[in-house]
Chain A
Amino acid sequence: MTENIVVTSGKGGVGKTTTSASIAVGLAKRGKKVAVIDFDVGLRNLDLIMGCERRVVYDFVNVIHNECALKQALIKDKRFENLYVLAASQTRDKDALTQDGVQRVLEELAAEEFDFVICDSPAGIEKGAFLAMYFADRAIVVVNPEVSSVRDSDRILGLLSSKTKRAEAGNGKVQEHLLLTRYNPARVATGDMMSIGDVEEILGIKVVGVIPESEGVLAASNSGVPVILDDTSNAGQAYEDAVARILGDEREMRFTEAPKKGFFQRVFGG
């Protein structure tokens, strides 16, 4: 069975593509056959984060318009032979993606016995975002502990429960996971940032992972190596935990408490 997972958020810039890349790599690392698809037509970026931008010949829209075979457009990852990237097109045509076309690609991937297809949604609630979520079995809603991101996530949760194939067919809802990114435990401790519990309570669902704000994320995208492969960074390890939980393992949350202060810091502040 192929499982389609959409990575979505509503708001832009919260870490959807970073998350898609790391989740895809994390699943592939565990031996799963994975395809990760960039649905952000016009603003291709997943290829850069995955480090395969020089190897894009055909893209998602070419496949949908029958300009090439799916196999020709799937870019095989250089690190994991069971991981493939399908890049977004850079066309400005908003109607380049069609529901039938997306369905056909997903069916072909299922026939090729992929275990997981990760759909990296564009920001917003337009057609690309709708098509990225429509065929999903599961959703990872990426959220920052910040007011506009939390509000947009709630809109997306509403759409997941009404505008997806599963919701329309009434055969079980899309399984929803919340992934909290750019979390800063020190700021939570001083009351300047909403906590994990706050966000869970507002949105009414539990987090599947908490990714701390980390320098490793920028370094990873600079070098085209998904941050999950940097096991020296907190963010990479937190993604590793999130992947384990998505596969059903129980893991304690890490990197969610502010580091203990030393004596001088406690006395003099800082």
Chain B
Amino acid sequence: MGIFDFLRKGPQNTASLAKNRLTILIQEERDRSGRGAPDYLPLLRRELLEVIRKFVNVDANAVDVKTHKDGDHDVLELSIALPDKATGGA
């Protein structure tokens, strides 16, 4: 840092901007391609759906199974959309 540096114009620290943009983008692209996800996810999703349908009559696409990273941990995220008015199953 020189004492005249303030005279120079230009965007500051574009490298961290690049890093942030890429981190978000690459995570999205990896999620979309299903990369890095364990290969049992489709089966897990199907079996969960069968279990839930014993109790609640949900749509075929009501169960969403995803993995993502949170710091050092892998998180398995289940999202189950119930119908507006849950009806008892068989």
A256 at the interface (CB under 8 A from B): no
A158: contacting residue among B8, B13, B23, B30, CB under 8 A: B30
Decide if A154 is an interface residue (CB 8 Å cutoff): yes
Is B60 engaged at the interface, CB distance under 8 Å to the other chain? no
Main secondary structure of the interface of B (DSSP, over half): helix
- Tell me whether A192 and B26 are in contact (CB under 8 A): no
> Given the known A-B contacts A158-B33, A202-B19, are A191 and B14 also in contact in the complex, defined by CB atoms under 8 Å?
yes
Contact call B18/A194, Cβ cutoff below 8 A: yes
Check A198/B15 contact, CB under 8 A, given A268-B2, A269-B2, A269-B4.
yes
State how many angstroms separate the Cβ of B34 from the closest Cβ of chain A: 10
A202 near B4 (CB under 8 angstroms)? no
Closest to B21 in A: A147
Contact among A147, A162, A201, A265 with B18 in the assembled complex (CB-CB below 8 Å): A147
Interface string of A182-220 (1 = CB under 8 A from B): 000000100111110010011100000000000000000
Interface residues of B in 17-40 (CB under 8 A from A): 18-19, 21-23, 25-26, 29-30, 33, 35
Chain A contacts for B23, CB-based, 8 A: 201-202
Interface residue range, chain A = 20 to 34
B51 contacts A by Cβ under 8 Å:
no
Q: Mark A219-232, 1 if CB is under 8 A from B, else 0.
A: 00000000000000
- Interface assignment of A169: CB less than 8 Å from any CB of chain B: no
Q: Which B residue sits closest to A198, measured CB to CB?
A: B19
- B90 an interface residue at 8 Å Cβ cutoff? no
Contact, CB under 8 Å: A191 / B18: no
Point out the residues of chain B lying under 8 angstroms from A155, CB to CB: 29
Q: Is A151 interfacial (CB 8 A cutoff)?
A: yes
Besides the known contacts A188-B15, A192-B13, A269-B4, 5 further A-B residue pairs in the complex with CB atoms under 8 A apart? A151-B26, A151-B29, A198-B18, A266-B2, A267-B2
User: Residues of B at under 8 Å CB distance from A?
Assistant: 1-5, 8, 12-16, 18-19, 21-23, 25-26, 29-30, 33, 35
State the A residues within 8 Å of B (CB). Answer: 146-147, 150-151, 154-155, 158, 161-162, 188, 191-195, 198, 201-203, 265-270
